[in-house]
Amino acid sequence: MIEVRVLYRDWKEFALKDINLAIERGEYFVVLGPTGAGKTLLLETIAGFYFPDGGEIWIEGQNVTNLPPERRRIGFIYQDYSLFPHLNVEQNIEFGLKLKKSASQDTNRKRVKEIMDWLSISHLAHRYPATLSGGEQQKVAIGRAIAIEPSILLLDEPLSALDLRTKDYLREELKRVKEEFDITMVHVTHDQTEALVLADRIAVMMQGRIMQVGTPHEIFNKPLTEELADFVGIENVLRGVVRNNVNGIAEIEVDTGGTIFAVSEYRDGVVKVFIRPEDIILSESIGDSSARNVITGRITGLHDMGPLTRVKMDSERSELVALITKQSREDLGLNEGDEVYATFKATSVHVVRG
Amino acid sequence: MNSLSGWPGTERIKREKIYILFLFLGLVLVAFVFITIGNMYYKQVEDFSGLIDAATDPVVLKAIAISVTMALASTIIAFFFGVPLAYFLARKEFMGKSVIEGIVDIPLMIPHVVAGIALYGVFMRYGLIGAPLRKLGIVITDAYPGIVVAMLFMSLPYLVDTAREGFKEVDPRLENVARSLGASHWRTFREITFPLAFPSILSGAILSWGRAISEFSAVLILAYHPISAPILIYEKFTSFGLRASRPISVLLISICLVIFILLRWLQRRRK
């Protein structure tokens, strides 16, 4: 387990503030945040490349705050792979093994070979980093890090510099690494899909602070603040007042008019209502549906986004955004100015105190 | 980058106008150096017996040997103290850093004869450093150490500056990764940082060595004797003229060029 307690670090131009994290053993933990949020610095501080000005870092019950990086047994992988350019693939992977006093050259060689086989990079053994593709380099970096059998692997935007196909492939490799070697993974990224696919839990980081920690479902559907909602792509934010609550379904009178039903414990008070655009279903008529919320509106904009279409509509004086597939757009024959019904379930509505 | 290989067609000339113009401007400098040195060699070939005489004159050979070895000693000292300084300057930001960098570069700025006088003030028998050293029985002026001191002063910025730029080019993240893999800071420096910066450090050492051999004014003031090559050349020139000084000059720069080319070649091969 990694515990980061009230960590604080002030750089001239940037600061990490009051970071508290508890990362479980064997967990795939993703730190998600926009560029410049301080994610890399947090990771480098956990690794020991920087010492914090305040706070403590505990790993497996040991206070490592003042330990140098070489005594933390933490693997580190950078976005640009950071392979040693003067060493070939084999020597790169062997680097950490050679430093262990116990190991002999023979066992090291054997281990390097095993790792290269496992990552399917044996054919690259004698190549130098400059001659490898991005994906190959990242595999070597993974091999070099796992060679020392770290209990923790820190990954700083490991997939960001790769093309889409390589990215997908290496994402699976990372999962495989975690399963095979039982390593706690702490992965920093600004890519939400990556976070969603890989993470057991996610911490959202902004301006040097951890804003929310939770499961991917919680992060993407139940953000704690409007800022977080906006960051995870919840475009529909409405303000209102809870008027009634029947069996855990709150009736919210929205400021701009109309009522929305939401699964919520709140019985009264001012609230904010978040609805993900992909949770809104559009139709031309009110059909049979278990969805509690139906809003009529007029389409004010259609934006092609590849496989999806973003539909903007004006409804009862408030504006809603829906994401639908290209297929449904064609089936419905949607055009600007059309009147449509937007339906969404009470379970798709997330309510926070506003 | 466009190459200028092959005979350019008119289209090509139009496209690469600026390169062609700059090439001709640049060639002025290249010709300036080449003609000067080439002329000296050419004249010497006409007087080949003079060259043989010089090459067999023990005084000349000793002077050249002194220059080459004292310059080597100066470079080794500059390396030993300069490489750590260069690494520190490349990695650390601190108040007064630009002051330190400025001090290191002072020898580049001041006239060499001024440096010689300043050095003499410190290293003469009653000087700040000269006096205590003298008590220990070490004499700097007009002795081998004096030559080394003068050479070191004039040549150290080349090594420090080049090595510092070399260290800057080594991504600190490589050091971070090495540390995370279990290497101590010291070992990381030895196995990652130093080897990667080595081509630059070697360049700096070569520059520094070349500069040390060629140092005249400061050596002249600090240690006229034991007589080193540039001083012998000057002495011959003022006493006997061009004909007497040229063969020693040709010998000296020939030896320098051979060593210089050899080291550059080794450096390339390493890369």
Q: Which chain A residue has its CA at the smallest distance from B183's CA?
A: A70
Average pLDDT rounded to a whole number, residues B14-41? 93
Which residues 64-93 in chain A show a CB within 8 A of chain B?
68-70, 72-76, 78, 80, 82, 84-86
pTM above 0.90, yes or no: no
Strands A293-305 and A308-315: antiparallel
What angle do helix axes B97-109 and B58-91 make, rounded to 10 degrees? 160
A81: alpha, beta or left, given left = phi > 0 and alpha = psi -120 to 50?
Answer: left
- The tens digit of pLDDT for each residue in A324-334 reads 998 888 888 88
Closest Cα partner for B230 from B68, B118, B76? B68
Name residues whose C-beta falls within 8 Å of residue A103's C-beta, 6 or more positions apart in sequence.
A97, A111
- Give chain B positions within 8 Å (CB) of A153: none
Q: How confident is the model at residue B4 (pLDDT cuts 50, 70, 90)?
A: low
Name every chain A residue with its beta carbon within 8 A of the beta carbon of B185: 68, 70
User: Cα separation of B71 and B148, whole Å?
Assistant: 7
Report the C-alpha dihedral over residues A113, A115, A118, A120, rounded to 10 degrees.
-70
Nearest one of A142, A155, A146, A151 to A30, comparing CA atoms: A155
pLDDT band at B6 (very low <50, low <70, confident <90, very high): low
The alpha carbon of residue B75 and the mean position of all alpha carbons in its chain are separated, in whole angstroms, by: 8
Confidence of residue B190 (pLDDT cuts 50, 70, 90): very high
Residue B70 CA, chain-centre distance (Å), reads 12
Rounded Cα distance between A233 and A32, Å, is: 13
Q: Does position A249 have pLDDT exceeding 70, yes or no?
A: yes
The size of the A-B interface in CB pairs under 8 A is 63
Residues near B131 by Cβ (< 8 Å), separated by ≥ 6? B125
Q: Which 3 state secondary structure label does DSSP give B156?
A: helix
What is the pLDDT, as a whole number, of residue B14? 78
Measured between alpha carbons, how far is B267 from A112 in angstroms, rounded to an integer? Answer: 31
Distance from CA of B173 to the nearest CA of A (A): 7
pLDDT, tens digit, 9 for 90 and up, residues A201-237: 999 999 999 999 999 999 999 999 999 999 998 999 9
Q: What angle in degrees, to the nearest 10, is found between the helix axes of B48-55 and B58-91?
A: 80
Phi and psi torsions of A308, nearest 5°: -115, 160
Question: What gap in Å lies between CA A242 and CA A226, rounded to an integer?
Answer: 18
How wide is the angle at C-alpha B267 spanned by C-alphas B261 and B270, nearest 5°?
145
Is B171–A44 a contact, with Cβ atoms under 8 angstroms apart?
Answer: no
- Chain B, residues 165-224, CB within 8 A of chain A, namely 171, 173-174, 176-185, 187, 191-192, 195-196
Angle, helices A164-181/A134-147, rounded to nearest 10 degrees: 10
Vertex B252 angle, CA B62 and B200, to 5°: 110
User: CB distance from A149 to chain B under 8 Å?
Assistant: no
Give the C-alpha distances (Å, rounded to integers) separating A345 from A290, A293, A314.
7, 6, 19
Enter the tokens of residue B83.
């490489």
Burial zone of A54 (CB within 10 Å; 0-12 exposed, 13-18 middle, 19+ buried)? middle
Closest chain B residue to A92 measured between Cα atoms?
Answer: B178
Q: Do B192 and A84 touch (CB under 8 A)?
A: yes
Q: Rounded to whole angstroms, how far apart are CA atoms A87 and A125? A: 11
Average pLDDT of chain B is: 92
Alpha-carbon Rg of chain A, whole angstroms?
Answer: 25
Q: What amino acid occupies position A59?
A: I
Regarding predicted confidence, which is higher, B167 or A38? B167
For residue A27, what are the CA distances in angstroms to A2, A57, A201, A215, B157?
10, 17, 8, 12, 52
| pLDDT for residue B5 | 55
Nearest alpha-carbon partner for A94 in A131, A140, A128: A140
The DSSP letter of residue A80 is T
Task: Compare CB distances from A148 to B174, B181, B184 and report the shortest one's residue.
Answer: B181
Q: Does A99 score more than 90 pLDDT?
A: no
Mean pLDDT of all residues in A42-46:
93
pLDDT at residue B7, as a whole number:
59
Residue A158 has pLDDT above 90, yes or no: yes
Does residue A106 carry a pLDDT above 50? yes
- Residue B38 in tokens: 């080439």
Please list, in sequence order, all residues whose beta carbon lies within 8 angstroms of the beta carbon of residue A13, skipping any fewer than 6 positions away.
Answer: none
The whole-number pLDDT of residue B270 equals 66
How many whole angstroms separate alpha carbon B133 and alpha carbon B115? Answer: 20
Q: How far is A87 from chain B (nearest CA, A)?
A: 9
Helix spans in A119-162 (H) = 134-147
The candidate with the shortest Cα–Cα distance to B200, out of B82, B30, B67, B69, is B82
Which residues have C-beta within 8 Å of that of residue A183, sequence separation ≥ 6? A26, A75, A146, A150, A151, A152, A153, A177
- CA distance readout (Å), B41 to A187, B47, B246: 66, 10, 9
SS3 (DSSP) at A339: strand
The CA distance from B97 to the nearest CA of chain A, in Å, is: 17
Question: How far apart, in whole angstroms, are the C-alpha atoms of residue A232 and residue A312?
Answer: 18
> What local confidence, expressed as pLDDT, does residue B8 receive?
58
Among A86-100, A139-153, A276-290, A329-343, which stretch is predicted with the lowest mean pLDDT?
Answer: A276-290
- Measured on CA atoms in the order A79, A80, A84, A90, is the torsion positive or negative? positive
Distance, in Å, from the CA atom of B25 to the CA atom of B228, rounded to the nearest integer, reads: 37
CB A297 within 8 A of CB A313: yes
Residue B208: closest CA among B37, B96, B35, B86: B86
